[in-house]
Amino acid sequence: MDLLLYPSSISFKSHASPPRPNFPNFNSKKSRNFLRNPLIWRQNCRIRAQSSNGTAGDGFVLEDVPHLTDFLPGLLSYPNPLQNSKAYAIVRQTFVTPEDAVAENIVVQKDSPRGVHFRRAGPREKVYFKSEEVRACIVTCGGLCPGINTVIRELVYGLNYMYGVDDILGIEGGYRGFYSKNTVSLTPKLVNDIHKRGGTFLRTSRGGHDTNKIVDNIEDRGINQVYIIGGDGTQKGADLIFKEVEKRGLQVAVAGIPKTIDNDIAVIDKSFGFDTAVEEAQRAINAAHVEVESVENGVGIVKLMGRYSGFIAMYATLASRDVDCCLIPESPFYLEGRGGLFEFVEERLKENGHIVIVLAEGAGQDYVAQELHPIDEKDASGNRLLLDVGLWLSQKIKDHFTNVRKMAINMKYIDPTYMIRAIPSNAADNVYCTLLAQSAVHGAMAGYTGFTVGPVNSRHAYIPIARVTETQNTVKLTDRMWARLLASTNQPSFLNSNEVIPEKADQETMEVVNDMRITSI
Ligand SMILES: Nc1ncnc2c1ncn2[C@@H]1O[C@H](COP(=O)(O)OP(=O)(O)O)[C@@H](O)[C@H]1O
Ligand SMILES: O=P(O)(O)OC[C@H]1O[C@](O)(COP(=O)(O)O)[C@@H](O)[C@@H]1O
Ligand SMILES: [Mg+2]
């Protein structure tokens, strides 16, 4: 296996499953019983953890991904068909070597240890599947995001054109599709144009993850490569599928491709569709700006997606230059008193005659909840349903200026969230999706499993799934990016709260720019 080729000074901090004791025949009944014995399994995990903790030598740590040979040691390998590929004929180095690793941190000091690395993604010299024996499947789960169809298309093309695989199944309607729907056979011809459309060709769903039923189905259908496109919830599900596959000792590679419009997936540089979303958000911000600068005391509010992470709002604000204030979940704000939002709105109205506020849907949720006393509702995947901070804030501002400041304002509220999510990906995201899909295919063909693929400091890497699900990527207020935003809008930092809890809003109607809103039922 690749790992053995590393110099002995390198230590491995592995999220991969522990190495199994040597069994002469891993398909024997004895071996399969061993794999099903949780006690032996846990003991073994501890051994692996003890022997792999800490760093050695120059402090190089490889956070490795599992490989099929970890639990199927006798697995045969074959020369990679890409060695005969015309496309790669003049490439200086067709195959990624086992020594190639991608550093998690690239800003270092002269004497700092080399730190955590991930396996570099890309084609390997040996593959662990015969092309004609591959039966792959693709599933998409969770919310929509621009670019899902490009990933599906490029998985199909990558498998077919690069590796000669022609048995590819589409699982329809998310995880539950494994056990509740028929599959669709995916060919290059069928998916040829789908990247030009938004949404997901395979459709999606929340909830419905049943690990045993899914793996039973994978086994029954003879599937041996599973490509799972989805966000943090989906990747957690993919990890469970991988663990169950491993427990059953199946030769099935499980590859996760991270998808989230919120850009909240840890470790990777950014998620696909994010750039497209930021670009599309400019249209809504422009509309708000045009509206409010054409009237007296115009207040434009644009709500963008971002449950727990305000990346779309932050980048859309930085890109636009028409935004006066950006509110995100990570940065609590307050309305009343010195340094509060009302004061800032009034200042800008006096200065410029209008103001544009961009807010992420997850901003100020605790603040809103104090007034609205919500029932703790969740979606089918267990994600908490958010209160509509956009409508709430619009109402609060309107009430304040009408009733307290006796000032007429012109409120325009725009909620373009689903319009932004439903479009096809832009050119840059299309290229990114292609790389993700090809890297996933190379990884699965090379026998890696239980991995998520993604760019780390611009180089694509195979990342242990647990690493991308254990934390969420959020905007760090202490990082320079947020400071850049504050410097560009000159908005209050809301750090010195002398917060006055606002009174419950009355139900006065306001002018809502409603035509951009499609409400989810
Ligand atoms: N902790 C979990 N374990 C297993 N499956 C999960 C978990 N969280 C979510 N899922 C499944 O992953 C799918 C998508 O999850 P969801 O949270 O809706 O979207 P996303 O993957 O985009 O975050 C759903 O089918 C859901 O049941
Ligand atoms: O209305 P839906 O389809 O549940 O989606 C809304 C949510 O989906 C998101 O786009 C994120 O979805 P994911 O969890 O699938 O990444 C959030 O920004 C938003 O709150
Ligand atoms: Mg999610």
Q: Which residues pair with 225 in a beta bridge?
A: 136, 253
pLDDT of 101-149, one tens digit each?
Answer: 999 999 999 889 999 999 999 999 999 999 999 999 999 999 999 999 9
Which of 80-84, 231-235, 299-303, 459-463 is predicted with the least confidence, judged by mean pLDDT? 80-84
Q: Tell the burial category of 221 from Cβ atoms under 10 Å away from its Cβ (0-12, 13-18, 19+).
A: middle
- CATH code for the domain of 401: 3.40.50.460
Residue identifier of the C-alpha nearest atom 1 of ligand 2: 520
pLDDT tops 90 at residue 447: yes
SS3 of residue 384 by DSSP: strand
- 153 is known to lie in a ligand binding site: no
- Calculate the alpha carbon distances from 484 to 177, 425, 487, 495 in Å: 44, 27, 5, 16
Of all ligands present, the nearest one to the C-alpha of 261 is 2
259 and 301 assigned to the same domain? no
Residue 159 sits in the same domain as residue 83: yes
Query: How are beta strands 115-120 and 126-127 bridged, if at all?
Result: unpaired
Domain boundary among 423, 448, 483: 423
Q: Across residues 171-177, what is the average pLDDT?
A: 98
Flag whether 369 is in a domain: yes
Q: What residue numbers bound the domain in which 364 lies?
A: 274-423
State which of 469, 489, 504 marks the end of a domain. 469
Distance CA 5, CA 320 (A): 49
Catalytic residue among 2, 70, 239, 262: 262
> Of 50-54, 105-109, 298-302, 507-511, which has the strongest mean pLDDT?
298-302
pLDDT given at position 38 = 33
Residue 45 lies in a domain: no
The verdict on residue 260 lying in a domain is yes
Same domain, 123 and 266: yes
Looking up residue 94, the CATH number of its domain turns out to be 3.40.50.450
- Interface confidence, given as ipTM, is 0.98
pLDDT digits (tens, 9 = 90+) for 3-43: 333 333 444 454 444 443 333 333 333 333 333 333 222 22
- For residue 379, report the distance from its CA to the centre of ligand 1, in Å: 10
361 appears as a binding residue in the annotation: yes
Judged by its nearest atom, the ligand closest to the C-alpha of residue 271 is 2
Both 257 and 384 in a single domain?
Answer: no
CA of 143 to the centre of ligand 2 (A): 5
Same domain for 412 and 447, yes or no, is no
Rounded to an integer, what distance in angstroms lies between the CA atom of residue 31 and that of residue 35? 6
Split into its structural domains, the chain has a count of 2
Q: Which tens digit of pLDDT belongs to each residue from 360-387?
A: 999 999 999 988 777 788 999 999 999 9
- Kindly give the number of the ligand 2 atom that is closest to the alpha carbon of 421: 10
Asked whether the beta carbons of 468 and 267 are under 8 A apart, the reply is yes
Indicate whether 98 and 201 sit together in one domain: yes
> Are residues 447 and 343 part of one domain?
no
Helices within 83-171 (DSSP H only): 148-157, 163
Cα 305 to Cα 419: distance, rounded to the nearest angstrom: 11
- How many other C-beta atoms are found inside a 10 Å radius of the C-beta of residue 164? 12
Residues framing ligand 2 (Cβ under 6 A):
142-143, 231, 260-262, 305-307, 361, 379, 421, 520
Name 138's Cβ contacts closer than 8 Å, sequence gap at least 6: 152, 155, 156, 168, 169, 170, 171, 186, 202, 227, 229
On whether residue 12 sits in a domain, the answer given is no
Check: CB of residue 362 under 8 Å from CB of residue 329.
yes
Tell me what pLDDT residue 501 has: 39
What's the CA gap between 60 and 62, in Å, rounded? Answer: 7
Residue 96 vs residues 79, 99, 473, 497: alpha-carbon distances, Å:
14, 8, 28, 53
Tell me if residue 379 is catalytic.
no
**Is residue 204 domain-shared with residue 74, that is, in the same domain?**
yes
Q: Give the model's confidence band at 57: pLDDT under 50 very low, under 70 low, under 90 confident, else very high.
A: low
User: How confident is residue 497, by pLDDT bands cut at 50, 70 and 90?
Assistant: low
Name the β-bridge partners of 299. Answer: 355, 411
Same domain? For 178 and 284 the reply is: no
What are the percentages of helix, strand and coil residues in the chain, rounded to 5?
40, 15, 45
| In a domain? residue 20 | no
What is the C-alpha separation between 337 and 301, in angstroms, rounded? Answer: 21
Q: Is 314 known as a binding-site position?
A: no
Statement to judge: residues 159 and 232 lie in one domain: yes
18 falls within a domain: no
- For ligand 1, atom 10, which residue shows the shortest CA distance? 233
Q: Is there a binding annotation on residue 260?
A: yes
pLDDT digits (tens, 9 = 90+) for 247-296: 999 999 999 999 999 999 999 999 999 999 999 999 999 999 999 999 99
Residue 374 pLDDT: 72
Residue 381 alpha carbon to ligand 1 centre in Å: 5
How would you label 233-248 residue by residue, b for 16+ Cβ within 10 Å and e otherwise? bbbbbbbbbbbbbbbb
CA of 236 to the centre of ligand 1 (A): 7
Q: Do residue 112 and residue 235 come from a single domain?
A: yes
Yes or no: say if 269 and 259 are a contact pair by the CB < 8 Å rule: no
Residue that finishes a domain, picked among 363, 393, 423: 423
Residue 327 lies in a domain: yes
Cα 117 to averaged position of ligand 2 atoms, centre (Å): 31
Q: Has residue 51 been placed in a domain?
A: no
Mean pLDDT confidence for 297-303: 98
Has residue 77 got a pLDDT over 90?
yes
Percent of the chain with pLDDT over 90: 79
Stated pTM of the model: 0.87
Does 351 share its domain with 234?
A: no
Q: Is 418 annotated as a binding residue?
A: yes
Q: Which ligand is nearest to the CA of 140?
A: 1
**Burial label, 266 (beta-carbon count in 10 A; 0-12, 13-18, 19+):** middle
What is the torsional sign of CA 174, 179, 184, 186?
positive
pLDDT of residue 521: 29
3-state secondary structure 260-286: CCCCCECCCCCCECHHHHHHHHHHHHH
Listed residue (16, 24, 64, 17) closest to 41, CA to CA = 17
> Which residues surround ligand 1 with Cβ inside 6 Å?
141-143, 174-175, 206-209, 230-234, 236-237, 240, 260, 381-383
Is pLDDT at 511 greater than 90 in this prediction? no
- Tokens for 409, please give them: 């304002």
Rounded CA separation 95/443 (Å): 12
